[in-house]
């Protein structure tokens, strides 16, 4: 059985949606069991079926609006987030899923799960929808604001293996997020990263990709430093929100418009759903000794269920073992 720790208390709709997501997961996925970390009394009031679900009581929570989330996770080892992370290092669980505060989760994962040997900089990598085909990985979405290009290479290995094993893409293409497609474009960092990617046999590098095609990119993995990729993610979110507002404003103009809007309402909801947190998979933290999945803060039961499913899949496919094998081979070659 794959054992998954769930931080039941983190997220905008915790613990209700987290618990519902967990109950759905154990029903649908036969090889998992779940341990919920959080306030036992509160959890019990929502847990209507405890088949394959355990509870570990914790008496505090890392607040979503925490001003200093890194300090909070450091000083609060008895929180649901800290306890669930620690359970992975203690081998009590194979993976953690949390929709708690991102920066606290990244910092907590570093301290309590630990970094993979030889992996220099952890990254956080959400999986986003495309318009015309499956999904793509956007990294690093905010773990390392400033980074050396050689560390991006390790992150690209991880993303490639993830895309292969979890998203089922045979030869995942890697694209560097840049302001132009020509070789040599971008900052010094981008030029150096592109050269390293190009020369590396483990990476199927297709070159620079402009975010003009961000919702239908020619690559399965879109990579940049943590500042840039986070800005890309937030600009996608902002533009999608802005376009929805404009759409509503325009569609409700005039009699034909209003009638059309009425008829289209079901389809428009489907559009909204495609861009909603529940449909967008959780983000994995790359470079740890264990599997840590960050489900979106606004996840409802279905989104959280998807996060659990994703975590189980990553464990089942031994993504961490496969990445470790490449990193260690590389390290040996470098040492020679």
Tell me which residues touch a second copy (CB under 8 A).
Answer: 67, 130-132, 142, 145-146, 177, 179, 182, 186-188, 190, 210-216, 227-228, 230-232, 234-243, 245-247, 249-251, 253-254, 256-257, 259-268, 270-271, 274-275
Q: Euclidean distance between the first and final Cα of the chain, in Å?
A: 40
Query: What is the closest distance, in whole angstroms, from the C-beta atom of residue 287 to a second copy in the complex?
Result: 19
Contacts of 51 (CB under 8 A, 6+ apart): 26, 27
Nearer to a second copy, 161 or 223 (CB): 223
Q: Least CB distance from residue 122 to a second copy, whole Å?
A: 16
Bridge pairing between strands 283-286 and 123-125? antiparallel
Please state the closest distance from residue 227 (CB atom) to a second copy, in A.
5
Collect all residues with Cβ–Cβ distance below 8 Å to 316 and sequence separation of at least 6. Answer: 2, 31
Q: How far is the CB of 242 from a second copy (least distance, A)?
A: 2
Q: Are strands 135-139 and 127-129 parallel, antiparallel or unpaired?
A: antiparallel
The Cα 245–Cα 236 span in angstroms is 14
d(CA 23, CA 293): 18
Bridge partners of residue 293, in order along the sequence: 97, 284
Smallest gap from Cβ 124 to a second copy, in A, equals 12
Choose between 6 and 72: whose C-beta lies nearer to a second copy.
72
Pick the closer one to a second copy by CB: 168 or 180.
180
Three-state DSSP at 144 gives coil
Q: Which is nearer to a second copy, 78 or 245 (CB)?
A: 245
**Nearest residue (CB) to a second copy, 191 versus 324:** 191
Query: Minimal CA–CA distance to 62: which of 75, 52, 48, 46?
Result: 75
Nearer to a second copy, 44 or 241 (CB): 241
List phi, psi (to 5°) of 33: -130, 150
Residue with tokens 């495609």: 274
Counting runs of H as helices and runs of E as strands, what totals does the chain give? Answer: 11, 12
CB of 73 to a second copy, least distance (A): 17
User: For residue 162, what are the contacts with CB-CB under 8 A and spacing of at least 6?
Assistant: 125, 137, 284, 286, 314, 319
Min separation Cβ 7 and a second copy, Å: 22
Q: Six-digit token pair at 284?
A: 């994995």
CB of 57 to a second copy, least distance (A): 32
Nearer to a second copy, 30 or 188 (CB): 188
């Amino acid at each position: 059985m794959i054992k998954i720790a769930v931080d039941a208390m983190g997220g905008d709709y915790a613990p209700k949606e987290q618990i519902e997501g967990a109950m759905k997961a154990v029903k649908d996925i036969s090889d998992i069991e779940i341990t919920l970390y959080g306030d036992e009394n509160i959890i019990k009031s929502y847990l209507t079926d405890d088949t394959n679900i355990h509870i570990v009581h914790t008496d505090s929570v890392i607040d979503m609006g925490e001003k200093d989330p890194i300090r909070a996770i450091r000083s609060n080892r008895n929180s649901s987030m800290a306890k669930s992370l620690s359970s992975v290092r203690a081998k009590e669980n194979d993976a953690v899923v949390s929709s708690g505060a991102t920066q606290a989760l990244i910092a907590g994962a570093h301290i309590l799960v630990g970094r993979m040997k030889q992996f220099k900089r952890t990254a956080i990598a959400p999986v986003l929808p495309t318009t015309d085909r499956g999904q793509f990985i956007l990294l690093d979405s905010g773990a390392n604001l400033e980074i050396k290009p050689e560390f991006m290479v390790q992150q690209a290995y991880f993303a490639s293996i993830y895309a292969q094993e979890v998203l089922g893409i045979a030869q995942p293409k890697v694209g560097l997020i840049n302001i132009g497609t020509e070789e040599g474009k971008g900052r010094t960092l981008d030029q150096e990263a592109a050269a390293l990617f190009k020369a590396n046999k483990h990476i199927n590098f297709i070159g620079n990709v402009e975010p003009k095609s961000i919702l239908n990119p020619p690559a399965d993995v879109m990579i940049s430093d943590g500042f840039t990729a986070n800005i890309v993610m937030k600009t996608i979110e902002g533009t999608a929100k802005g376009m929805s507002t404009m759409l509503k404003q325009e569609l409700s103009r005039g009699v034909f418009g209003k009638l059309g809007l009425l008829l289209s309402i079901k389809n428009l909801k489907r559009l909204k759903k495609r861009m909603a947190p529940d449909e967008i998979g959780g983000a994995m933290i790359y470079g740890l000794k264990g599997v840590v999945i960050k489900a979106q803060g606004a996840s409802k039961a279905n989104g959280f269920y998807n996060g659990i499913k994703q975590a189980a899949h990553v464990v089942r496919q031994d993504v961490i073992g496969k990445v470790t094998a490449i990193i260690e081979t590389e390290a040996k070659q470098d040492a020679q």
